[in-house]
Structure 1
Amino acid sequence: MGTRKIIGIFLIVLSLGVGYFGLNKVSENSTSIEVLDLQVDLSNNSEKELGYVYVGLAVVLLGGGLFLLKKNSN
């Protein structure tokens, strides 16, 4: 197994972890409660945006890992 394939597999596994962490960060920071027929949204937007950054990074890592696995080694 070549070095490119090992790095590609590592990037794919890393992207899964970063994506999971990002999605958890987004879901943890968005809650709403209902008080006297009014729905109040309690969101931490800065943490939510950071979660979206992690999800974007996971997509980039996944793309890089797939690229390294598909690339022909000459």
Structure 2
Amino acid sequence: MSKFIGAVLILISLLIGYIGINKIDDNAKEVNLLGLRIDVSNESEKQQGYLYVGLAVLLFSGGIFVVNKTTKA
């Protein structure tokens, strides 16, 4: 049962990480207009994306820990 929980944590972390990376990428836009560089990024959405990626890293490491703990026992 613990292996299953670890696997679910890993899958959820991959999904959340994918969503976070997409949030970061979608909100980092730059436009060059007549030699002027205009940055039209949304910083709050980028921060939310970084939080998602951080949460994904924590869930992934927790899932790896749970899977490794159950294989040693």
User: TM-score when scaled to structure 1?
Assistant: 0.93
| Match runs of 1:23-38 below 5 Å | 23-38=21-36
5+ residue gaps, structure 1: none
The count of corresponding residues between Structure 1 and Structure 2 is 71
**Structure 1 segments (4+ residues) deviating >6 Å:** none
Structure 1: how far apart are the matches of 2:42 and 2:29? 9
User: TM-score when scaled to structure 2?
Assistant: 0.94
Tell me the alpha carbon deviations over residues 13-41 of structure 1, each in whole angstroms, 9 at most, x when there is no partner: 00000000000000000100011101111
Which has the larger share of strand?
Answer: 1
Tell me the alpha carbon deviations over residues 34-64 of structure 1, each in whole angstroms, 9 at most, x when there is no partner: 1110111111000000000000000000000
Same amino acid, percent of matched pairs = 48
Aligned Cα RMSD in Å? 0.6
Which has the larger share of helix?
Answer: 2
5+ residue gaps, structure 2: none
